[in-house]
Amino acid sequence: MKKGFLATLMISAGIIACQPAPQAAKEEHKNTFSKATTQKTSKKSSKEKEFLKALGAQDKWQKACSNPVQVAPEGVDVTKFIEEMKATIKYPADGKLVGDWKKGESLALLPKEYKALYGRKGGSKKGNCYACHCGDPRIIACGNIGPSLRGYGKKGIDPKMTYDRIYNPWAQVPCSTMFRFGYHGLLSPEEIADIVAYLHDPESPINK
Amino acid sequence: MKKGIFASLLGGALFLVNAEAPTPEQLKILKEMGVSPADVIVEEGRDYYHNLKGTTGKTCASCHGQDGANLVGAYAKMPRYYTDIGKVADVDLRVKACLEKYVGVNAKGKKGRKYIVPLAGYVATLSNGMPINIELKHPEEKRLYEYGKELWYKRVGARDFSCAICHDVLAGKRIRLQKLGAPVRDKLYAHWPAYRISKDKLWTMEDRIRGCYKSFFLFNPEKGKFDFKENWVKKPPFYMEEIIALELYMKKAANGAKVEVPGLIR
């Protein structure tokens, strides 16, 4: 018992990992810090510039959500916001909105979750659904930020609704904490269709 | 030495849990058990403070007094503006500046963190029991505070996150099994720097903020949409103004809370 706790304590890695080593310091000459300093400074400032570019990549909808309330857009018309978000949604070329649930499962689970369940490689960092949702009862380390997805396929929800909600949650709930997977290209249309199958298929562990 | 104490500490722990993260109660027990491994790191900082010499031949103690006599209470007012370096510095940047400018030690990069983190931890303990008091007197401090507030609410990156979404809106909820705290509302700055049990490391607030930014999936838009390999901008570099701005925002919110460091976190 005691050992178990210690082990989990030591191996448990949150969604936030520790930082990679910054560029290892260049060879060091005693008494000549000024030289080393200018070298490193120019290097670092390019990293700073890159970070600022990334911070500057805010789109107008994110901007509208950047207020103290956070989950309601400010200074824009909500109906228009939703329409604009809907217009971003793209569908798979073959028009199939329900794909392969097994592939969907591998996208929804982290590699370590997949390995724990099936003992083989699989999983992905892209979906990370269990950070916020519970669903497959075998996955106990699940978040409670979104509603449980347990039995989701039995609710009679239109798969297209599910597809849209994953592609761009902000087309249904502006400024939701669930991020816009398809809009940002985190998941492709085909991958989203696979996740839709994972949520809807009666054979999926979500509904079993 | 450090490892030994950590091992014996863990050996004596009696927890009956199988969850991923220890609860605050369990962390409290760990703390009450006496020797915190964090104290060993702080001791290391005290040792550097009195003995580390660089090209100038001076130690920290040469200027700031034996046992940090002249730095008592300083951490409670940081980050603040310093005329000798012409900018607002947090404890990390201040220690780094003193190491490079006055002691003559190269404190760049990862190697620098080896000195800076224990020294920052030591300097922070010199304010233990004193109330945090961020005054925002200098115009630069005011500017950075406002900037920090803006960054706190800024939804950005491929995950549409902001600090506030996790730490105001979702505070109290769980991401997986990790409970989200409310650093602003609950004045959590009071226990930073903190010892991270799971990593066996002392973390300053800079480390914490950089770690949280990693979850945003920030990306360089010049190279298209987010891609793990192509354009993921994981973290701001250390000592960047944006980090110090967020620290100023969170620490001002903690005004009045008594410094109690090093804290103990998962």
Condensed to tens digits (0 to 9), the pLDDT of residues B185-194 reads 999 999 999 9
**Domain membership flag for residue B92:** no
Of A25, A30, A131, the CB nearest to B108: A25
Interface test with A, best of B155, B207, B215, B231 (most A CBs within 10 A): B155
B236 reaches A (C-beta below 8 A):
yes
Cα B64 to Cα B72: distance, rounded to the nearest angstrom: 10
Q: How many domains does chain B have?
A: 1
| Percentage above 70 pLDDT, chain B | 88
- Residue B212, in any domain of the structure: yes
End-to-end CA gap in chain A: 31
For the domain that residue B238 is a member of, what is the CATH number?
1.10.760.10
Residue A183 and residue A5: Cα distance in Å, rounded? 40
Q: What is the pLDDT of residues A41-84, one digit of tens each?
A: 555 589 999 999 999 999 999 999 999 999 999 999 999 999 99
- Kindly state whether B161 is in contact with chain A, defined as any CB-CB distance less than 8 angstroms: yes
Nearest to B164 among A16, A62, A70 (CB): A70
B148 occurs within a structural domain = yes
Give the DSSP letter of residue A147.
P
Does residue A7 register a pLDDT over 90? no
The CA distance from A143 to B35, in Å, is 33
The confidence score (pLDDT) of residue B35 equals 62
Give the confidence band of A4 by pLDDT, cuts at 50, 70, 90: very low
CA B67 to chain centroid, in Å, comes to 22
Give B173-185 pLDDT, tens digit per residue. Answer: 999 989 999 999 9
Three-state DSSP class for residue A102: helix
State yes or no: pLDDT of A10 exceeds 60: no
Residue B102, chain A, CB below 8 Å: the answer is: no
Averaged pLDDT for residues B127-155: 98
Q: Which pLDDT value is given to residue A11? A: 30
Each as own residue / partner, the long-range contacts of residues B30-34 (CB below 8 Å, 24 or more positions apart, any chain) are B30/B197, B30/B264, B31/B264, B33/B9
Of A155, A140, A146, give the one whose Cα is nearest residue A127.
A146
Q: Report pLDDT digits (tens) over A160-177.
A: 999 999 999 999 999 999
Average pLDDT on B241-264 reads: 97
CB pair distance less than 8 Å for A22 and B237:
yes
More confident residue, A131 or A25: A131
Cβ-defined contact of B155 to A70 (cutoff 8 Å): yes
pLDDT at B23: 58
Q: What is the pTM of this model?
A: 0.89
Q: Using one digit for the tens of pLDDT, what is the confidence trace for B49-84?
A: 999 999 999 999 999 999 999 999 999 999 999 999
Q: Does B149 map to a domain?
A: yes
- Contact between B233 and B218 (Cβ < 8 Å): yes
Inside any domain, residue B72: no
Tell me which residue range forms the domain holding B174.
139-265
Within a domain: B108:
no
B120 CB-near residues (< 8 Å, 6+ apart): B45, B91, B92, B95, B193, B204
B121, part of any domain? no
Residue whose C-alpha is closest to residue B193's, from B45, B8, B71? B45
Most confident of A13-22, B4-13, B161-170: B161-170
Which chain B residues touch A141 with a CB distance below 8 Å?
Answer: 20, 176-177
Is residue B99 domain-resident?
A: no
Alpha-carbon gap, residue A127 to A13, rounded angstroms: 17
Rounded average pLDDT over A7-33: 30
Residue of chain B whose Cα is closest to the Cα of A35 = B106
Q: How far apart are CA A186 and CA A108, in angstroms?
A: 12
- Chain B positions touching A2 (Cβ under 8 A) are 13-15
